[in-house]
Amino acid sequence: MDFTLDTFSGLVENALASLEYPSVAPRLFDPIRYTLESGGKRIRPVLAVAVYSALAKADPADALNQAVAIELFHNFTLLHDDVMDRADIRRGRPTVHRKWNDNVAILSGDAMLTMATQQLTRGAGDRLADLLECFNTTAMEVYEGQQLDMEFENRDDVTIDEYLLMIGLKTSVLLGCACRLGAIMARADKAAADAFYRYGYSLGMAFQLRDDWLDTFGDPAVFGKEIGGDIVNHKKTWLLISARNAEPEDLPAILAEDLEPQETIAQVKALYERHHLGDLCQELALKYSAEAKMNLDNIDMDVEARLFFAGLADRASTRTH
């Protein structure tokens, strides 16, 4: 088995492209095909097959159904989150509720969630109960994360701890779950499954904090999204919360002013730089990458698998897009 991102993501892309859909109401599935063919990093399903492969030392295709399940779940949350956030663009294309309408995004999203559970059961055998326990617990946590994220929009006193809890629930647990599903399929012992879960969780934290950093300090030519979107939307990221803690008067004053977006971005960014918040955010991302790698030490696997997972952890906090 080649332990490369391309190998695993190739397998995942093939599996997603060959999904079959019921045919009574075919239009229900157009938005699902549209969403799945829009790409994305496929990091969650890649983790599931890679963990399976590392632990079972077997054909990663054996865990592909569970990998597809986690990607379907992730894309279902995007469909519904985009309705809730009124987001227009996703992966460079109109979001489903913009291309069709809200009702289509809601109903096709529901269908994706059920398809995810269906996919999870395929080839599960006697591991089904464990897979479902992990999957459902994680799903509930992801909803709780989204709920907190929405509640934070109407609050000005969100703390850093609350923010880290929220991104942990909204993002990191799903990467942890992806790893655990692979471990369960491999019939790994509890210690290995737990260590891989924590690896995935820390990877998710590094990934999200790097995302916050990129949104302000990324290279517009490489990042793929406009820089400063979080600032313009007053999104309570690690950077913005830290800035309000550092400048409880100045930051709200800048945000309250009726400035051109570019001017708001420039002023907030200057405030971030005055307090070295970009560097501090990046340090925290690196700390989570290091934590992720530490968890690998306790798992028995081949050197090429170890290097693969360590590489992913490093990339989470150093990627440019």
DSSP classification of residue 85? T
Contact 177, 70 (CB under 8 A): yes
Owner of token pair 């999204």: 225
Residue 180 lies near a second copy (rule: CB under 8 A):
no
Q: Which stretch binds a second copy (CB under 8 A): 10-18, 52-60, 110-118, 242-250?
A: 110-118
Instruction: Choose between 119 and 282: whose C-beta lies nearer to a second copy.
Output: 119
Q: 293-298: long-range contacts at Cβ-Cβ below 8 A with a sequence spacing of 24 or more?
A: 293/199, 295/195, 295/196, 295/198, 295/199, 295/202, 296/195, 296/199, 298/191, 298/192, 298/195
Q: Which two tokens stand for residue 306?
A: 């170890």
Instruction: Choose between 144 and 247: whose C-beta lies nearer to a second copy.
Output: 144
Which position among 7, 38, 117, 233 is part of the footprint of a second copy (CB under 8 A)?
117
DSSP classification of residue 123? T
Alpha helix positions (H), 18-123: 30-36, 43-56, 64-84, 96-99, 102-121
Q: How many CB atoms lie within 10 A of CB 126?
A: 7
CA distance 137 to 155: 27
Q: Which of residues 151-170 bind a second copy (CB under 8 A)?
A: 151, 165, 169
Owner of token pair 């549209």: 34
Q: Which of residues 243-272 bind a second copy (CB under 8 A)?
A: none
Binding footprint of a second copy, residue count (CB under 8 A): 40
Instruction: Choose between 27 and 321: whose C-beta lies nearer to a second copy.
Output: 27
SS3 category, 186: coil
Query: 15-54 mask for a second copy (x: CB under 8 A)?
Result: -------x-xx-xx--------------------------
Q: Which stretch binds a second copy (CB under 8 A): 11-19, 136-144, 212-220, 305-313?
A: 136-144
Instruction: Choose between 60 and 141: whose C-beta lies nearer to a second copy.
Output: 141
Name the nearest CA neighbour of 58 among 182, 178, 179, 199.
182
Q: 100-105: long-range contacts at Cβ-Cβ below 8 A with a sequence spacing of 24 or more?
A: 100/30, 100/31, 104/31, 105/31, 105/79, 105/80
Q: How many CB atoms lie within 10 A of CB 256?
A: 9
> Strand pairing of 89-90 and 93-94?
antiparallel
Which position among 17, 58, 89, 140 is part of the footprint of a second copy (CB under 8 A)?
140
Q: Which stretch binds a second copy (CB under 8 A): 3-11, 62-70, 132-140, 254-262?
A: 132-140
Instruction: Choose between 154 and 260: whose C-beta lies nearer to a second copy.
Output: 154
Q: Which stretch binds a second copy (CB under 8 A): 5-13, 123-131, 231-239, 307-315?
A: 123-131
Instruction: Choose between 110 and 250: whose C-beta lies nearer to a second copy.
Output: 110
Which position among 46, 63, 69, 83 is part of the footprint of a second copy (CB under 8 A)?
83
Query: 61-80 mask for a second copy (x: CB under 8 A)?
Result: -------------------x
- Which residue ranges make up the site for a second copy (CB under 8 A)? 22, 24-25, 27-28, 80, 83-84, 102-103, 106-107, 109-111, 113-115, 117-118, 121, 124, 128-129, 132-133, 136, 139-141, 143-148, 150-151, 165, 169
